[in-house]
Amino acid sequence: MPLANGHDTEANDTLIAEIGEMAAKIQQPVTVLEKVRDPEASFEQKSHTLMMESVDKITNQWVTELNHVCNNLKTVEQMVIAQAAKTKEELTKLHLLGVQAMREAQRGDEVAHQLGRELQSMIGGETVN
């Protein structure tokens, strides 16, 4: 490795070769893209068509989801109506049972009073009609 002015000449040669390669790459011709026939008209129509199709697709998706929501709401509505009818039926049964229990309690009171009067009359020696 001979030194020239205190520098490695081999390293200098490598650096000069790399700079030459970079310069060669920079000087290569730039690739030109091929032009499309009437790009403004076809691009605008294509963009418009794609946007319209996208809006239609999104609209259909929303309508489908809303239909699912409506169907689910109808199902929930029927469940609420069925549960309300069942609750009304149970309340009616409880009411009728309560009325029957009240009548039985009154009858029990009347029987207890009657038995009490009869016992009183037996203890007191009086006859009950």
Instruction: Please tell me the distance from the alpha carbon of residue 119 to that of residue 115, in angstroms, as a whole number.
Output: 6
Token representation of residue 99: 């009325």
pLDDT given at position 52:
93
Token representation of residue 59: 């609209």
Instruction: Please tell me the distance from the alpha carbon of residue 103 to that of residue 101, in angstroms, as a whole number.
Output: 5
Of 31-45, 89-103, 109-123, the range with the highest mean pLDDT is 89-103
**Tens of pLDDT along 55-75?**
999 999 999 999 999 999 999
Q: What is the pTM of this model?
A: 0.45
pLDDT given at position 51:
92
* DSSP-assigned states of every residue in 49-98: HHHHHHHHHHHHHHHHHHHHHHHHHHHHHHHHHHHHHHHHHHHHHHHHHH
Instruction: Please tell me the distance from the alpha carbon of residue 90 to that of residue 83, in angstroms, as a whole number.
Output: 10
